[in-house]
């Protein structure tokens, strides 16, 4: 064995992280793969995060309690972007369905796609600040779920 190889082996063996990594079981060949890095799903995560931030900003500042809020450019633009996001969630559902993925993510994306317009309509329909606060909170929670279900590590099927 050459001196260089011997030195490299001794350095690798002296690093405890190498030993820890080597002790881990190998990944299963059929282990689920995360879709979070794929462009469509990364776009969904980014859009959901931005929309959630807008909703939280409205809640913190009380903007949704203004009389002209629902006819203003902020809300109308939000509503259009939320509809686009719902469409992307459905597209994600269809892609996973086409791939033959039989996991929770496929179903959750469809549910979120259907729930986004419902939650936006609930915000519009709320007649009191208290009702509007609950509706905004539920919308923010749904948008956060949209991020978390995509970025969560995939789980094996049971």
Q: Is residue 157 part of a domain?
A: no
Average pLDDT, the chain: 86
Q: What is the pLDDT of residue 18?
A: 47
Q: 73: which 2 tokens?
A: 């450019």
Q: Is residue 20 part of a domain?
A: no
For 123, the domain range is 39-151
Q: Is residue 26 part of a domain?
A: no
Q: Find how far residue 92's CA is from the centre of its chain.
A: 12
Comparing 30-39, 62-71, 128-137, the range with the smallest average pLDDT is 30-39
Q: Is residue 138 part of a domain?
A: yes
Of 66 and 27, the structure prediction assigns the larger pLDDT to 66
Q: Is residue 81 part of a domain?
A: yes
Question: Average pLDDT for residues 127-146, to the nearest whole number?
Answer: 96
Say whether pLDDT at 31 is over 50: yes
pTM score of the predicted model? 0.78
Q: What is the pLDDT of residue 9?
A: 57
Give percent of the chain with pLDDT exceeding 70.
Answer: 77
3-class secondary structure, 101: coil
Q: Is residue 116 part of a domain?
A: yes
Q: Is residue 32 part of a domain?
A: no
Q: Is residue 86 part of a domain?
A: yes
Question: Average pLDDT for residues 113-122, to the nearest whole number?
Answer: 98
Tell me the C-alpha distance between 43 and 92, whole Å. 11
Count of structural domains within the chain: 1
Burial, 81: exposed, middle or buried (Cβ in 10 Å; 0-12, 13-18, 19+)? middle
Q: How confident is the model at residue 56 (pLDDT cuts 50, 70, 90)?
A: very high
Q: What is the pLDDT of residue 21?
A: 44
Question: Average pLDDT for residues 67-88, to the nearest whole number?
Answer: 95
Say whether pLDDT at 150 is over 90: yes
Q: What is the pLDDT of residue 67?
A: 86
Q: What is the pLDDT of residue 69?
A: 92
Contacts of 120-127 with C-beta under 8 Å, sequence gap 24+, read: 120/79, 120/82, 123/64, 124/70
């Amino acid at each position: 064995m050459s001196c260089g190889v011997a030195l490299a082996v001794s350095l690798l063996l002296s690093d405890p992280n190498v030993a820890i990594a080597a002790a881990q079981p190998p990944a299963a060949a059929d282990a689920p793969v995360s879709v979070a890095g794929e462009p469509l799903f990364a776009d969904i995560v980014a859009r959901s995060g931005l929309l959630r931030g807008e909703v939280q900003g409205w809640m913190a500042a009380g903007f949704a309690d203004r009389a002209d809020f629902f006819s203003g450019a902020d809300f109308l633009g939000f509503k259009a972007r939320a509809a686009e996001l719902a469409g992307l969630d459905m597209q994600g559902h269809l892609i996973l369905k086409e791939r033959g993925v039989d996991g929770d993510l496929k179903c959750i994306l469809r549910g979120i796609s259907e729930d986004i317009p419902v939650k936006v309509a609930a915000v519009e329909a709320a007649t009191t600040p208290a009702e509007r606060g609950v509706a905004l909170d539920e919308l923010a929670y749904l948008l956060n779920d949209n991020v978390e279900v995509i970025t969560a590590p995939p789980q094996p099927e049971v």
